[in-house]
Chains A and B, each alone.
Chain A
C-alpha cells in the first residue's frame, strides 16, 4: 500500500507544473558532465568553475571522501564589489541592516590596510570551515559540528543559544539571532535564540549543484575571485590552483587547517 502511495506521490510531483524546488540539478549535471574533459585545460574567462565531483544521491549520507573548500583570490577582489555578500544574503534570506550590531552576517568584505605601506586589500571573510574547529570543540551540546564532508554547521535543533562558539571562533564568523524572525527561506531555516554562520550553501550542495552562492555571483560578475571545490580531489580546479599558486590560511598559526584559503594574502 505504501509503495503505491509513494509511486503516486512521485508521479504527482513530476507532473506538477510549478514546483518550489530549483530545477537545476538535472541541467547542471549534464552540463558539468560535458566539461569533464575541458577542466584539464587552463581556465579561460567564461569557463564555469563548477566541480566535476559527482553529486551524491540525495538520500545517502555524506562521506569524508569529499572535503569541500574555497579559494579566494584576493588580487581579483575589488573594494567596491559586494556581489558575494549580496548573493549570500539573497540565497539564505539574510537582511542585515547597515550599522546593525545584532543582525546576522554570514559573509563580509574585510578591508586590511598595512599602516606602514598604505597597501590595502579587500576580500570576503566567512566561516573558514576548519578541519579542527574551535567552535565544535567548545559547544556544550554538540550542536556545532563538522559534517563528514568538511562543512561546519550548527544543528539548530540542539543549539541552546549559549554563544560560547561565537567567543571561541577566531574569525568572528558566527552570529547570534537576536530577535524573532519571519519570512525565512525554506532551504535555510534559522530562528531566534540560535547561532548561525556560513553553511557553505549546504542546501545547494545537497541538491547537487556543488557550488556556493558567493562563488556563483563572483563568477557571474566577472571577477572569478572565489573558487569552490573538493580539496580531496587532486584533479579539481581548486586543488590545482592551490598547487600552482598556493593558498594561505588566515591565522595559520592556530593550526586549524581551514577549508577556506586565500591567494594573494
Chain B
C-alpha cells in the first residue's frame, strides 16, 4: 500500500455547521417529543395494551442491530486479517458506537419511567435476557472505545488485533442477545424460536454495512477526499452476500413454520391476510429490502456506479425497518393462541388483531435517535483522526 494517513475533517465550512445544526435540531425535537410522552403518558402515543412496543422500538432495535454490524468492517480487518479493510476500521468502530448510542437513547426515552434509568443500571435480574442486553450494550461502548484507542495510539497498536477479536466476540453475543429478546418468548406465535438469534446476526451484517457504506460515501464526497472503486466494490460484494443471507434465514423461518399445522395461523397472518404487515413483508422486506438491492449489487452494468450502490444501501435500510416492524409490531398484533382452533373474544381484545398506528411523537423520537447517531459520527470525524486522507485504489490495494 502507498502511505496511509488519517486526519480530521475540516470543520469550518458552512455546510458542516448547517449539518450539525440540522441534526441538533432534529435531536431536540425528538427529545421534546419523548418528554411530552413521559409527562402525558403513553396514551398520546399509538401504543396500547395490545401493542406495547411500537415504532420507537422498531427504530431502537434497528439502530442497535445496525450498530453491531457496523463493526463488521473493522472485524474483517483485525480478526480475519484482510488488509484492504484496515483503513476502514476506525470509522467502522466510530459508527458502531454512534448507532448504539442513538438506539439506546430512543429505547430509554420511551420507557414508562425513564426517570428510573438508574434503577435499570443498578438492579439486574440475571435471568432476563433484556438485563443481559443492558450489560452487553454498556460493555460494548467500553470495549469498542478501547479498540479505537488501540487503533489510534501507536504505542498500543500491537493490541489492536486482540481488542478487535474481543469486540467481535462481544458483538456476536450482543446481537444474539438482541435476537433472543424475541426468541426466548414462549407466549407469542411469531417468536419462540432459536432461529431469531442467528437471523438478527445476519441482519446486523447487512444493516450495519449499508449504513457504513452510506456514511463512507457521504463523508468522502462532502470533504472532497478521494474514494476509489476498489474498496467500494469489495464492500458492494459483501453487502450482496449479507442480503442473500437474510433472505435465506427468512425463507427457512417461514418454510419451517409452514410445515407445522400449528403455525399455519401466524403464517397466514404474516404472509397473506395481515394487511399492513403482509404488505411490509413482501414489498418492504423481501422486494425493497432484499431482491431489488441484490439485483442492483450484482448486475454487471452497475459495477462501478456509486449511485446504484447508495440506492441499494438505502433500500436495505428501509427493508430492514420494514422487517423489524413486521417482527416487533406484527408479532404483537397477532392474538395470543390461548385456545388453539377456538374463536375467542373479550373486553380485553382477546382473539382480535391488535390495532396500532404510530403517532407523530413516536416518529419524531425515532428520527431523533437516528440524528443522534449521525451527530456523533459528524462530531467524531471532526475531532479525531477517523478518516484516511485518501481511499484511492493505490492506497487501499495490497501489493503482493
Contact = CB atoms under 8 A, between A and B. Distances in A.
The answer to whether A and B touch in the complex, with CB atoms under 8 Å apart, is yes
Interface of A: 85, 96, 98, 101-105, 108-115, 125, 134, 136-142, 158-164, 166-172, 175-180, 192-195, 250-251, 254
Contact of B112 (A125, A168, A194): A194
Given A141-B123, A142-B124, A102 B343 contact: no
Interface in B105-119: 111-114, 116-117, 119
12 contacts: A85-B347, A101-B49, A108-B347, A113-B343, A114-B343, A115-B343, A125-B350, A138-B128, A141-B123, A141-B125, A167-B187, A177-B41
B258 interface: no
A98 B38 CA distance: 25
A176 B49 contact: yes
Given A105-B347, A137-B128, A141-B131, A114 B342 contact: yes
Contacts of A96: 347
B40 interface: yes
A250 B338 CA distance: 7
A178 B131 contact: no
B52 A163 contact: yes
B187 A168 contact: yes
A111 B345 contact: yes
A193 B47 CA distance: 13
Main secondary structure of the interface of B (DSSP, over half): loop
B203 to A, nearest CB: 19
B336 A160 contact: no
B42 interface: yes
Contact of A172 (B123, B345, B348): B348
Given A141-B123, A159-B112, A160-B117, A115 B342 contact: yes
Closest 3 CB pairs of A and B: A161-B112, A193-B112, A142-B125
A176 B42 contact: yes
A113 B113 contact: no
B197 to A, nearest CB: 16
By CB atoms of chain A within 10 A, which of B42, B134, B347 has the most?
Answer: B347
A136 B344 CA distance: 26
Interface of B: 38, 40-43, 47-50, 52-53, 111-114, 116-117, 119-120, 123-125, 127-131, 134, 181, 184-188, 332, 336, 338-339, 341-350, 355
Given A138-B128, A158-B123, A250-B338, A166 B346 contact: no
Contacts of B50: 101
Contacts of A162: 111-112, 120, 130
B111 A176 contact: no
A158 B131 contact: no
* Main secondary structure on A side of the interface with B: loop
A112 B342 CA distance: 6
Given A158-B123, A176-B42, A168 B185 contact: yes
Contacts of A104: 49
A108 B350 contact: yes
Contact of B52 (A115, A136, A166): A166
A15 to B, nearest CB: 41
Nearest to B182: A167
Nearest to A114: B342
A178 B120 contact: no
Contact of B49 (A102, A113, A158): A102
Contacts of A195: 112
A167 B332 contact: yes
A176 B186 contact: no
A138 B338 contact: no
B17 to A, nearest CB: 37
A164 B123 CA distance: 16
Contacts of A167: 52-53, 185, 187-188, 332
Given A111-B345, A178-B49, 13 more contacts: A102-B43, A103-B49, A110-B338, A110-B344, A110-B346, A112-B343, A134-B186, A136-B125, A163-B53, A164-B130, A172-B348, A250-B338, A251-B338
Contacts of A98: 347
B339 A169 contact: no
Given A166-B49, A250-B338, A138 B41 contact: no
Contacts of A159: 112-113, 116
